[in-house]
C-alpha cells in the first residue's frame, strides 16, 4: 500500500508528501507566468466588445486542460461544441452525440474555464420535439453541466424554440448558414448563401432569431460579403467560422486551430500550433526510450532507499518463502 493512502489530511497537505502522486490536480491559483486575472466575461461584456468593435474571441473546449488554456490566455467565449463527438469521442458525425455525453464534457470545461463565458451546444434531437422538453434539456446543460448559455442550429423554423428558452431566462446563441447537424439533408458540408435567394433567407433567419431573443449568432461557411452585411444589420454580436473578417468575432474548433485533428479540414481553418506533430514525436520518443531502457533513469527519476534499510530488507527476504511464478 502506498504511504500516501494512509496519511492524515494535515500530513497530506505537506509539500514533501504530495510527491507520492504522479498525477494530481493542478494548483490553478499558483500558475507561474500566468496573465493577470480578468473579470468574468458576461453577455454585457460581449456586447461591449461589439460596440467598441473589438473582435470577440471564441474557441471550443472539451475538457479541463483545454478549458484552462482558454482561461489563462483570455479567450472571451468557451464553446463546448458538439464537434466533440468527432474529435474526442470518435463518432463519424455530430448527430450521434447524446445529452449525457455533452453534460459530462461541459462539467469538465466549467471546472477549468472560470472567466470565459461558457456556451454549450444542444445535441441533435434535444431541441426538436417540444418546447417543454427543450427547456428541460437546456436546464440540464445549465444546472448539471455548468453552461451559461446554449447554442442551437437552425433558421426561422426554430425561432419559436429560441423564444421559449429566452422567455424563461435561458440565454441562447443561434447558429445559421452551414448546419453540421443537418449535413445529410444538405448533402454534405457545403457553403451556404452563394445565390441571392439563399443569401436572403440567411439574412431573414438572422433577423428572426434576433427578434426571438438570441443574444448572439454564429455564421458558418457563408460568403464573407454576406456575413459582413448581416453583421451590420444586427443588433447582436455575430461570431464567424468560415464567414470572413467582417463578423463581430471568430470561432474555431480547438483541434483544428491547434493542429491536433488529422482528418479533413475546411478551407477556413488556420493552424496556430502543431500540437499533433509534437505529441506524435513525444509518443515515439517515449516508446523508444522505454524499449532501449533509457527511461527511467534510476538516479534522476527513481527513489533511493537508506542503505541500512536495504541491508535489513535483504536479511529479511532470505528467510521469506520464495514463490516461483
Report, as residue numbers or ranges, the catalytic residues: 220
φ, ψ of residue 242 to 5 degrees: the values are 70, 35
Q: What angle do CA 179, 184, 189 make, to 5 degrees?
A: 50
Question: What are the angstrom distances between the C-alpha of 92 and each of 88, 192, 293, 297, 309?
Answer: 11, 22, 39, 42, 57
Helices (H), 29-92: 43-51, 64-72, 84-87
CA distance 62 to 49: 25
Residue 40: strand pairing partners? none
CA distance 77 to 64: 15
Among 145, 171, 166, residue whose Cα is nearest residue 41: 171
Give the number of residues written for the chain.
325
Amino acid at each position: 500500500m502506498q504511504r500516501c493512502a494512509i496519511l492524515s489530511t494535515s500530513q497530506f497537505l505537506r509539500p514533501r508528501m504530495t510527491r507520492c502522486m504522479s498525477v494530481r490536480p493542478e494548483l490553478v491559483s499558483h500558475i507561474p507566468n500566468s496573465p493577470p486575472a480578468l473579470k468574468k466575461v458576461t453577455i454585457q461584456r460581449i456586447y461591449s466588445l461589439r460596440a467598441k468593435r473589438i473582435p470577440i474571441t471564441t474557441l471550443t473546449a472539451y475538457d479541463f486542460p483545454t478549458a484552462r488554456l482558454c482561461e489563462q490566455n483570455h479567450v472571451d467565449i468557451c464553446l463546448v461544441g458538439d464537434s466533440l463527438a468527432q474529435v474526442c469521442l470518435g463518432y463519424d458525425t455530430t448527430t450521434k452525440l447524446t445529452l449525457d455525453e455533452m453534460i459530462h464534457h461541459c462539467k469538465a470545461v466549467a471546472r477549468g474555464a472560470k472567466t470565459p463565458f461558457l456556451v454549450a451546444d444542444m445535441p441533435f434531437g434535444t431541441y426538436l420535439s417540444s418546447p417543454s422538453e427543450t427547456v428541460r434539456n437546456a436546464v440540464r446543460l445549465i444546472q448539471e453541466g455548468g453552461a451559461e448559455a446554449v447554442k442551437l442550429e437552425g433558421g426561422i423554423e426554430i425561432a419559436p424554440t429560441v423564444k421559449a428558452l429566452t422567455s424563461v431566462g435561458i440565454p441562447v446563441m443561434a447558429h445559421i448558414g452551414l448546419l453540421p447537424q443537418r449535413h445529410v439533408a444538405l448533402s454534405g458540408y457545403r457553403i451556404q448563401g452563394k445565390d441571392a435567394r439563399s443569401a436572403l433567407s440567411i439574412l431573414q433567419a438572422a433577423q428572426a432569431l434576433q427578434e426571438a431573443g438570441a443574444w448572439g449568432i454564429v455564421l458558418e461557411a457563408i460568403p464573407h460579403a454576406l456575413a459582413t452585411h448581416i453583421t451590420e444589420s444586427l443588433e447582436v454580436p455575430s461570431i464567424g467560422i468560415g464567414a470572413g473578417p467582417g463578423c463581430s468575432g471568430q470561432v474555431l474548433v480547438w483541434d483544428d486551430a491547434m493542429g491536433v485533428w488529422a482528418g479533413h479540414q475546411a478551407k477556413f481553418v488556420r493552424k496556430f500550433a502543431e500540437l499533433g506533430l509534437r505529441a506524435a514525436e513525444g509518443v515515439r520518443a517515449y516508446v523508444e526510450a522505454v524499449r532501449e531502457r533509457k527511461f527511467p533513469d534510476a538516479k534522476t527519476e527513481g527513489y533511493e532507499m537508506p542503505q541500512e534499510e536495504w541491508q535489513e530488507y535483504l536479511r529479511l527476504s532470505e528467510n521469506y518463502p520464495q514463490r516461483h511464478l
